[in-house]
Structure 1
């Protein structure tokens, strides 16, 4: 039996384990000069729970991440690291598999606060120069974990990528604006993880000069922020962003959110005071505040309607401006969205098809570009129901237009952008989900057999989903390796976009009505009304 793989990082030795590729979507990987004994069957070397920064406890609770301390001996790296306490109506630690009734592996929250860890999956730790994909998970900036089975790296690693997935601080731990603490600590965590990758990934077979940073939803928002921040240049060469959210707020709004959060906890809105609050209690307070946000619609405007209290802050330092205006140096960028982004939230809340005219009017007033946006939506969608109007403007404002604008901003900054739209509908429940938010994730990772994917795609998934999954995975691998996903680049004139469907095609950007409505209107940070 071959020995388990051991790698010497800059901080110390870590021991992972060999794992055979599994699942119906596994790919046949390419072999590169093996210098370390490896079992037959193209096994992958997997390392989990590697510390990339010191645990944020004590004096480090709300501080910028500190480099990990070195250790002696061999540290085991076979179990996922602890998960940051989660906020929201379905926090990760309570989500259970609908199929088995058992919690997903690795998602239990520990009392341990060693949250700043990452996982590495490599097809060959003895190779040199393999392309690297660094995955930043989503979760609305208040939840999520790299340990989610949706992000199983088997397929992309078997296809020749070294895959790194990162845990970072979410909710108030990562984003609350606190007196005495840096803003946007979650982005600082991600930058620290990318610095760890630059120092160490060659020891896992990867090329530190061939790093692609990737994410979906809040992870894509993180990617957009990394493109705009002055602290990240040189840490990655390419970027992948699925469903970029347009969710940022001003310091004035963020300070008021923190004050309300502290009031719920009976303490002061400072880093010193909130450091005395247990992380679980703080996460629960973020959940409670999110549930109460509609009561603050008049003053907190778009943020209140989003249902998420703690979001990235345009602080002028870590995030110098909204990514669409602050991006000054372009990269190779693969960016896209789903056709029916907001449908997921309507279905999960039980409101799909039931939104009232008053709710549609409110959403149009909050999210459509002023002054004529609400009327423009009604004119562009004649005969639309209130639910259809609300879903259209919410999809555009929250994800579709920000994704399009990131492609445009990157191209304007000298980069090369490739745009896609996922139009393949999920077949579950008679197709009610449509091509919803998050459907692209299992397709890209090839995790069609994961519990969440089966909920949307069925078991087994339909042939067209398997085909689109293969196309999107191949696009990821090609892009991370060469910078070209396999279709023409997006340019302002041609607007060529890959539409992923039962029969995929490359066409002019398909959401032209939204593009015209939003033309000339900048995406601005959420502010006090």
Structure 2
């Protein structure tokens, strides 16, 4: 079936999308003003009004260096721009049906990734589940997560919050229900959901996939020292000078020897950039957030059997298995336990599909099955050896449960303490 244009109206103006046969897709809708010039290192500002906006083509990703998982997942070759605060919407129909909505927060260690590469196409989920899928970009690396005293912290988290707010205000125009929002995040995106729950969440269901909850958020004094090292490596003495730099100089500063040396002092092994306990945007540690806020959302939460095998120079052995459980496994089970204790429903899974001996069931391997996008992942090394039968079986099992959770708040296995093995 050939595609044709469709349209709907947001609070900012008319948007033109494409009907693709299965769904309607609107790409690169701005949910905030471009964070450039004086708005670099500032919280997101409301988007400008427009008469009509062409949303038929993909937008750029947030500025980033290549992912450290490129050897496992494959490369992500997309244009980049600081004007990246956009989201993509996939919807089965532009009517008043008020479908459940799921908002996807991508992973990438707060340094790489994007909302709507073909890896994360929401088309199949939207069509299969009769749901609306939304995927925002958010600012990455220094542009989104740098912290030095005197500047707002956690800008990337505030971007996510602005995207969720935009969805709440506009999703009825796309056939969605603003009162039925689920947040779904993987890795860094999953950890961010914990931070968002500590604020004023507009969602009451959450899917956390391989969230690195065991590494927690970074204390402000540690983040400040690292932030200063990044600024110095980029050749800036203060934020005003940093605002004037080409963004690629801020990206290259991530690789500076002085920055890498300072990062060695983080005994927990956190990424260079991550959420900061600044006392304003995020006031508590992940453990405190879990004990005080896990009761704000029903959860579907899980991890892969060999999480650490995706990372450079890590083999599958007893040490990496223990590290994976410390960072991903045990904290996920702890979150489920806290949610149950606070009166919420919680389901836990472990993803065990391991087509290669080298990578096993590594970090990120569940993603193609969640979105039904194995074709988009192509010859990703982590997937080599996956048979068509395995792909079909796993995709059906995962998508049916994820969709049931998004629609009805349940899945087809017993609640925690059972850990369902998906293999």
Fold shared per TM-score above 0.5? yes
Whether the aligned pair in 2 keeps the contact of 1:420 and 1:500 (CA below 8 Å) is yes
- Matched ranges for 1:302-321 at <5 A: 302-303=268-269, 306=270, 308-321=271-284
Whether the aligned pair in 2 keeps the contact of 1:261 and 1:289 (CA below 8 Å) is no
Matched, 1:244 2:211: yes
The equivalent residue for 1:499 is: 421
Report if aligned partners of 2:362, 2:382 keep a CA contact under 8 Å in 1: no
Matched, 1:75 2:1: no
2:266 to 300, 311, 315: 300
SS at match of 2:29: strand
CA distance in 1, matches of 2:284, 2:385: 44
Larger Rg: 1
Ranges in structure 1 where 5+ consecutive residues have no aligned partner? 21-42, 354-386, 502-529
The residue matched to 2:267 in structure 1 has which SS? Answer: helix
Distance 2:232 2:146 in 1: 14
Match of 2:123 in 1: 154
1:58 equivalent in alignment to 2:37: yes
Please give the residue correspondences for 1:57-456 in structure 2 after superposition, counting only pairs within 5 Å: 57-72=36-51, 74-87=52-65, 90=68, 107-110=78-81, 113-159=82-128, 160-228=130-198, 230=199, 232-233=200-201, 235-246=202-213, 247=215, 248-268=217-237, 270-288=238-256, 292-293=260-261, 297=264, 299-303=265-269, 306=270, 308-326=271-289, 327-328=292-293, 329-345=295-311, 349=312, 351-353=313-315, 388-425=317-354, 427-428=355-356, 431-451=357-377, 454-456=380-382
For 1:31, the equivalent position in structure 2 comes to none
Task: Tell me: CA distance 1:89–1:226, structure 2 relative to 1, closer, same or farther (3 Å).
Answer: closer
SS at match of 1:335: strand
Equivalenced residue count is: 416
Distance, in Å, in 1 between the alignment partners of 2:63 and 2:387 is 33
Deviates more, 1:63-72 or 1:456-465: 456-465
- Segments of structure 2 that go 5 or more residues without pairing to the other structure are none
- The 3 A distance-change label for structure 1 pair 459 and 11 is farther
| Aligned mates of 1:97, 1:475 — CA distance in 2 | 24
| Matched-pair contact (CA < 8 Å) for 1:339–1:435 | yes
CA displacement 1:437-480 (0-9 Å, x = unmatched): 10111111111222356533347734233212211111111000
Residues 264 and 285 in structure 1, CA contact (< 8 A), matched pair in contact too: yes
When residues 342 and 419 of structure 1 are mapped into structure 2, their CA distance, relative to the original with a 3 A threshold, is same
Sort the Cα spacing of 1:461 and 1:448 in 2 relative to 1 into closer, same or farther, 3 A. farther
With structure 2 as the length reference, what TM-score do the two structures score? 0.92
1:87–1:287 CA contact under 8 A, matched in 2: no
Superposed, which structure 2 residues align to 1:38-53 within 5 Å?
43-53=22-32
Tell me the distance in 1 between the aligned counterparts of 2:387 and 2:254.
Answer: 36
1:378 corresponding residue in structure 2: none
* Distance (Å, rounded) in 1 between the aligned partners of 2:122 and 2:338: 30
Poorly superposed stretches of 4+, deviation over 6 Å? 95-98
Shift in alpha-carbon separation, 1:2–1:263, aligned structure 2, 3 A: closer
Q: C-alpha separation between the residues in 2 aligned to 1:469 and 1:290?
A: 44
Give the deviation of 1:287 after TM superposition.
Answer: 3.4
Over 3 Å counting, the alpha-carbon distance change for 1:104 and 1:274 in structure 2 is: closer
Separation of aligned partners in 1, 2:92 and 2:385 = 28
Give the aligned CA root-mean-square deviation in angstroms: 2.4
